[in-house]
């Protein structure tokens, strides 16, 4: 299960919790049946714990197809980093934690 630091974003709360957020927001688009998504889950938890000033959350694309469609998510895992309501970085597939941390650092600067 995701750590308490990782939020659950849905079609209902995405605009308020991600697009209208003050700081950077890292969103993990995933599904329970996706092996690579489960593989990176501990890393997402670590990024959330390591970056308390950044909002980190997950969107289950099976339960929330609207958000996934809006952002053209065609393969998972896809991670989008938002700042000021706009996606500023996109990562598709399993990526090293260092690459994600560098993107978070630059968006938070």
pLDDT of residue 72: 96
Q: Which residues are catalytic?
A: 34, 37
pTM listed for this prediction: 0.94
Going along 1-104, which residue ranges are E strands? Answer: 6-8, 25-30, 55-60, 78-83, 86-92
Confidence band, pLDDT 50/70/90 cuts, at residue 2: very low
pLDDT at res. 1: 43
What's 2's DSSP letter? Answer: -
Q: Which residues contact 107 (CB under 8 A, 6 or more apart)?
A: 24, 54, 81, 83, 88, 89
Strands 6-8 and 25-30 turn out to be unpaired
pLDDT at 84: 94
pLDDT digits (tens, 9 = 90+) for 52-97: 999 999 999 999 999 999 999 999 999 999 999 999 999 999 999 9
CA pair distance 101, 109, nearest whole angstrom: 12
* φ, ψ of residue 24 in degrees (nearest 5): -75, 145
* Domains observed in the chain: 6-108 (3.40.30.10)
- In this predicted structure, what is the pLDDT of residue 4? 76
Q: pLDDT for 5-56, tens place per residue?
A: 899 999 999 999 999 999 999 999 999 999 999 999 999 999 999 999 999 9
pLDDT of residue 3: 58
Q: Identify whether the C-beta of residue 79 lies closer than 8 Å to the C-beta of residue 36.
A: no
Q: pLDDT at position 13, please?
A: 97
85: left (phi over 0), alpha (psi -120 to 50) or beta: left
């Amino acid at each position: 299960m995701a750590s308490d630091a990782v939020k659950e974003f849905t079609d209902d709360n995405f605009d308020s919790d991600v697009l209208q957020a003050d700081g950077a927001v890292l969103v993990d688009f995933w599904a329970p049946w996706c092996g690579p998504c489960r593989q990176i889950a501990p890393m997402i938890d670590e990024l959330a714990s390591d970056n308390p000033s950044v909002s980190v959350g997950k969107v289950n694309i099976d339960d929330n197809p609207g958000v996934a469609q809006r952002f053209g998510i065609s393969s998972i895992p896809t991670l989008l980093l938002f700042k000021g309501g706009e996606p500023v970085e996109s990562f598709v597939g399993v990526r090293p934690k260092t690459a994600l941390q560098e993107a978070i650092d630059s968006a938070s600067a």
